Chains A and B, each alone.
Chain A
Amino acid sequence: MFNDSLPTFWSIWVAVITLLVIFGCLWLIWIVRKSEPYKEETEETMGHSFDGIEEYDNPLPRWWYFKFLGTIVFGLGYLALYPGLGNFQGLLGWTSTKQYEEEVAAAEVRYGPVFAAFADQPVEVLASDPEALEVGGRLYSNNCAVCHGSGGKGAYGFPNLTDDDWLYGGSVEKIRESLNVGRVANMPAWQATLGDAGIEETSHYVVSLSGRAHDETLAAKGEQHYQTYCAACHMPNGEGMHALGAPNLTDDVWLYKQPNLTVIESVKLTLRHGRQGVMPAQLPRLGEDKVHLLTAYVYSLSQAN
Chain B
Amino acid sequence: MSDRIETVEIDDAGERLAHRATPAYQTHEGVYTRGVSGFFQNIRLYAGFFLLGLYFLLPWLNWGDRQLIWFDLPSRQFHIFAATFWPQDLMLLSWLLIICAFGLFFVTVFGGRVWCGFTCPQTVWTQIFMWAERFTEGERHTRIKLDKQPMSVGKARKKIAKHTIWFGVAWATGFTFVAYFIPARELVIDHWTGQASTGAYLWIGLFTLATYVNAGYMREKVCIHMCPYARFQSVMFDQDTLTVAYDYNRGEPRGHRKRDAEATHQGDCIDCGLCVQVCPTGIDIRDGLQYECIQCALCIDACDSVMDKMNTERGLVRYATEHELNGGTTHWLRPRLLGYGAAMAIMVVAFGYAITHRSPLDANIKRDRGALFHETKSGAIENTYTLTVFNKTSFNEVYEVNLAGRPGAKLIGPETLELAPGQTKVAVYQIQMDPDLIIQSRLPVEFLIEPAKEPAHTLSVESTFIGPDRWN
List residues of chain A with CB under 8 Å of any chain B CB: 37, 41, 43-44, 56, 58, 61, 141, 145-151, 153-156, 158, 160, 163, 252-253, 257, 259-262
Contacts and interface: CB of A to CB of B under 8 A. Distances in A.
Contact of B377 (A56, A148, A149, A252): A252
B401 to A, nearest CB: 14
B371 A155 contact: yes
A108 B84 CA distance: 34
Contact of A151 (B13, B428, B471): B428
Contacts of B430: 151, 153
B368 A260 contact: no
B17 A43 contact: yes
A146 B370 contact: yes
Given A253-B377, A259-B373, A41 B24 contact: yes
Contact of A155 (B7, B374, B385, B386): B374
A90 to B, nearest CB: 29
Nearest to A152: B428
Which secondary structure dominates where chain B touches chain A?
loop
Nearest to A39: B1
A41 B22 CA distance: 13
B470 interface: yes
Contacts of A261: 472
Contact of B371 (A44, A156, A163): A156
Contacts of B429: 151
B374 A149 contact: yes
A136 B203 CA distance: 40
Contacts of B373: 259
Given A58-B24, A61-B25, A158 B371 contact: yes
Interface in B392-439: 413, 426, 428-430
B25 A41 contact: yes
Nearest to B369: A146
Contacts of B372: 259
Contacts of B16: 43
A154 B374 contact: yes
Nearest to B471: A260
A154 B386 CA distance: 15
Contacts of A141: 386, 426
Contacts of B374: 149, 153-156, 160
A44 B20 CA distance: 13
A259 B468 contact: yes
Given A43-B16, A260-B471, A145 B370 contact: yes
A56 B13 CA distance: 12
Given A43-B13, A154-B374, A259-B471, 4 more contacts: A155-B370, A156-B371, A252-B377, A260-B470
B304 interface: no
Interface residues of B, number: 32
B23 interface: yes
Contacts of A149: 368, 370-371, 374, 384
A259 B23 CA distance: 82
Given A43-B17, A261-B472, A150 B368 contact: yes
Contacts of B470: 260
Contacts of B24: 41, 56, 58
The CB with the most chain A CB atoms within 10 A, among B17, B384, B386, B429, is that of B384
Nearest to A155: B371
Interface in B35-91: none
Contacts of B145: none
Contacts of A262: 472
Nearest to A37: B4
The CB with the most chain A CB atoms within 10 A, among B20, B23, B428, is that of B428
A147 B370 contact: yes
Contacts of B386: 141, 150
Contacts of A153: 374, 382, 384, 430
9 contacts: A43-B13, A43-B16, A141-B386, A149-B371, A151-B428, A151-B429, A153-B384, A156-B374, A158-B371
Nearest to B4: A37
Nearest to B11: A45
Nearest to A43: B13
Nearest to B374: A155
B190 interface: no
Which 10 A-B pairs give the minimum distances between C-beta atoms?
Answer: A155-B371, A259-B468, A151-B428, A150-B428, A252-B377, A151-B384, A149-B384, A146-B370, A260-B470, A150-B386
B375 A150 contact: no
Given A41-B24, A252-B377, A260 B469 contact: yes
A176 to B, nearest CB: 23
A257 B384 contact: no
A258 to B, nearest CB: 9
Contacts of A147: 370
Contacts of A259: 372-373, 375, 468, 471
B440 to A, nearest CB: 15
Contacts of B426: 141
B137 to A, nearest CB: 31
Contacts of A145: 368, 370
A261 to B, nearest CB: 7
Nearest to B472: A262
Given A56-B24, A58-B24, A153-B430, A260 B468 contact: yes
Nearest to B430: A151
Contacts of A156: 371, 374
B25 A257 contact: no
Contacts of A44: 7
A255 to B, nearest CB: 11
Contacts of B377: 163, 252-253
The CB with the most chain A CB atoms within 10 A, among B24, B25, B368, is that of B368
The CB with the most chain B CB atoms within 10 A, among A43, A61, A151, is that of A151
Interface in B1-37: 4, 7, 13, 16-17, 20, 23-25
Nearest to A138: B426
Nearest to A261: B472
Contacts of A151: 368, 384, 413, 428-430
Nearest to A62: B25
Contacts of B17: 43
Contacts of A158: 370-371
A148 B368 CA distance: 10
Contacts of A58: 24
A81 B372 CA distance: 51
B386 to A, nearest CB: 5
Contacts of A160: 374
Contacts of A43: 13, 16-17, 20
A156 B17 CA distance: 86
